[in-house]
Chains A and B, each alone.
Chain A
Amino acid sequence: MNGATNIVRRGTPDKWRFPTPFGWRTVLVAIVAMAILLRTGADVDIGRAIVQSGEGVAAGAGLVEDSQVARGFGAILGQMFPPQLAEVTETARIADFDPDRLPLFAHVETQVVTVQSLDPETMRMVARTTQREVLVEPLGYVVQVAAKLIETLEIALWGTLLAVLMGAPLAFFGARNLSPHWLLVTLSRAVVSLLRAVPELISALFFVLAYGFGPAAGVLALALHAAGFLGKFYAEDIENADRGPQEALRAIGANRLKLLRYAILPQVLPQYVAYTLYILDRNVRMATVIGLVGAGGIGLELKGRYDLYQYAHVGTILIAIYLLVLALDQLSSWFRRRWI
Chain B
Amino acid sequence: MSLIFEKVGKRYPDGTIALTDISFEVPRGQFCVVLGRSGAGKSTLLKCVNGLAVPSEGRVSVDGVSVTPRTLAKLRPQVGMIHQSFNLVPRASVATNVIAGALPAVSTPRAILGLFPKALREKACALIAEVGLDEEHLTRRAAALSGGQQQRVGVARAFMLDPPYVLADEPVASLDPQTSIDILALLEREAKERGAAVLCSLHQIDLAMRFADRIVALRDGRLVFDGPPDALADGRIRHIYGSPRLETSISRQAVGA
Give the chain B neighbours of A267 by CB distance below 8 A: 89-91
In the docked arrangement, what's the CA distance between A235 and B78, Å? 32
Contact between A269 and B91, CB atoms less than 8 A apart = yes
Residues of A within 8 A of B96 (CB): 262, 266
Which residues of B are found within 8 Å of A71, using beta-carbon distances? none
Most A Cβ at <10 Å: residue of B92, B96, B248? B92
B91 touches A266 (CB 8 A): yes
Tell me the interface secondary structure of chain A in the complex.
helix
Binds A, one of B3-11, B69-77, B222-230: B69-77
Binds A, one of B97-105, B188-196, B197-205, B209-217: B97-105
List, in ascending order, chain A residues with CB within 8 A of B50's CB: 251-252
Q: Is B85 an interface residue when CB atoms closer than 8 A count as contact?
A: yes
Interface size of A as a range: 20 to 34
A257 CB-CB contact with B under 8 Å: yes
B-binding segment of A108-116, A209-217, A242-250:
A242-250
B254 contacts across to A, CB distance below 8 A: 1
Give the Cβ gap from B128 to chain A, nearest Cβ, in Å: 17
Q: A2-B247, A2-B251, A248-B83 are in contact. Are A261 and B89 (CB under 8 A)?
A: no
Indicate if the CB atoms of B103 and A252 lie closer than 8 Å. yes
Q: How far is the CB of B256 from chain A (nearest CB, A)?
A: 13
Assembled-state Cα–Cα distance A2/B103 (Å): 40
A5 on the interface (CB 8 Å rule)? yes
Contact A262 B100 (CB under 8 A): yes
Among candidates B73, B88, B90, B108, residue contacting A258 with C-beta atoms closer than 8 Å:
B108
| Per-residue interface assignment for chain A, residues 221 to 255, with 1 indicating a CB less than 8 Å from any chain B CB and 0 otherwise | 00000000000000000000010110111111111
| B104 and A254 form a contact (CB under 8 A) | yes
Residues of A within 8 A of B108 (CB): 255, 257-258
Please measure, in the bound complex, the distance between the C-alpha atom of A255 and the C-alpha atom of B37, giving whole angstroms: 34
The answer to whether the Cβ of B112 comes within 8 Å of any Cβ in the partner chain is yes
Q: Which residues from 255 to 282 on chain A have a C-beta closer than 8 Å to any C-beta of chain B?
A: 255, 257-258, 261-263, 266-267, 269-270
Q: Distance (Å) between the CB of B107 and the closest chain A CB?
A: 10
B81 an interface residue at 8 Å Cβ cutoff? Answer: yes
Known A253-B77, A257-B108, A258-B111: A266·B83 in contact at CB below 8 Å = no
Q: Are B248 and A2 neighbours in the complex by a CB distance under 8 Å?
A: yes
Q: Is B45 an interface residue (CB 8 A)?
A: no
Q: Are B251 and A5 in touch, CB under 8 angstroms? A: yes
| Contact status of A258 and B87, CB under 8 A, knowing A252-B81, A252-B101, A253-B77 | no
Q: Are A253 and B104 in contact (CB under 8 A)?
A: yes
B103 touches A245 (CB 8 A): no
B72/A261 in contact, CB under 8 A: no
| Bound Cα distance A32, B53 (Å) | 50
Known A252-B81, A255-B108; contact A266-B248, beta-carbon cutoff 8 A: no
Nearest chain A CB to B126 CB, angstrom units: 19
Q: Does B19 contact A (CB under 8 A)?
A: no
Binary flags per residue of A1-26, CB closer than 8 Å to B gives 1, else 0: 11001100000000000000000000
Let me know if A251 and B251 touch, CB within 8 A.
no
Does B36 interact with chain A (Cβ within 8 Å)?
no
Cβ distance A321 to chain B, nearest Cβ, rounded Å? 37
- The reply to whether B112 and A261 contact each other, CB–CB distance below 8 Å, is yes
Which residues on the A side are within 8 Å of B167 (C-beta)?
Answer: 251
With a cutoff of 8 Å between Cβ atoms, the chain B residues found around residue A269 in the complex are: 91
CA distance A257 to B89 in the complex (A): 16
Measured in the bound complex, the distance between the Cα atoms of B92 and A270 in whole Å is 12
Q: Mark B37-81, 1 if CB is under 8 A from A, else 0.
A: 000000000000010100000000000000000001101110111
Q: A251-B76, A252-B76, A252-B79 are in contact. Are A244 and B101 (CB under 8 A)?
A: no
Contact between A251 and B104, CB atoms less than 8 A apart: no
- Residues of chain A within 8 A (CB-CB) of B86 are 244
Known A2-B248, A252-B103, A257-B108; contact A263-B73, beta-carbon cutoff 8 A: no
A244 and B83 in contact (CB under 8 A), knowing A2-B248, A261-B112, A267-B91?
Answer: yes
Least distance between A256 CB and chain B CB atoms (Å)? 9
- When C-beta atoms are compared, the residue in chain A nearest to B51 turns out to be A251
If A251-B76, A253-B72, A253-B73 touch, whether A245 touches B101 (CB-CB below 8 Å) is no
Residues on A with beta carbons closer than 8 Å to the beta carbon of B73: 253
Asked if B18 is at the interface of the complex by the 8 Å CB criterion, the answer is no
Assess A262 versus B88: contact at CB under 8 Å? Given A5-B248, A244-B83, A252-B81: no
Selected A-B contacts with CB under 8 Å, 19 pairs? A2-B251, A5-B251, A244-B85, A245-B87, A245-B89, A247-B52, A249-B100, A251-B50, A251-B76, A251-B79, A252-B76, A253-B72, A262-B96, A262-B100, A262-B103, A262-B111, A263-B100, A266-B90, A269-B91
B residues with a Cβ closer than 8 A to A are 50, 52, 72-73, 75-77, 79-81, 83, 85-92, 96, 100-101, 103-104, 108, 111-112, 157, 161, 167, 247-248, 251, 254
- Shortest beta-carbon contacts, A-B, top 3: A253-B76, A244-B87, A248-B87
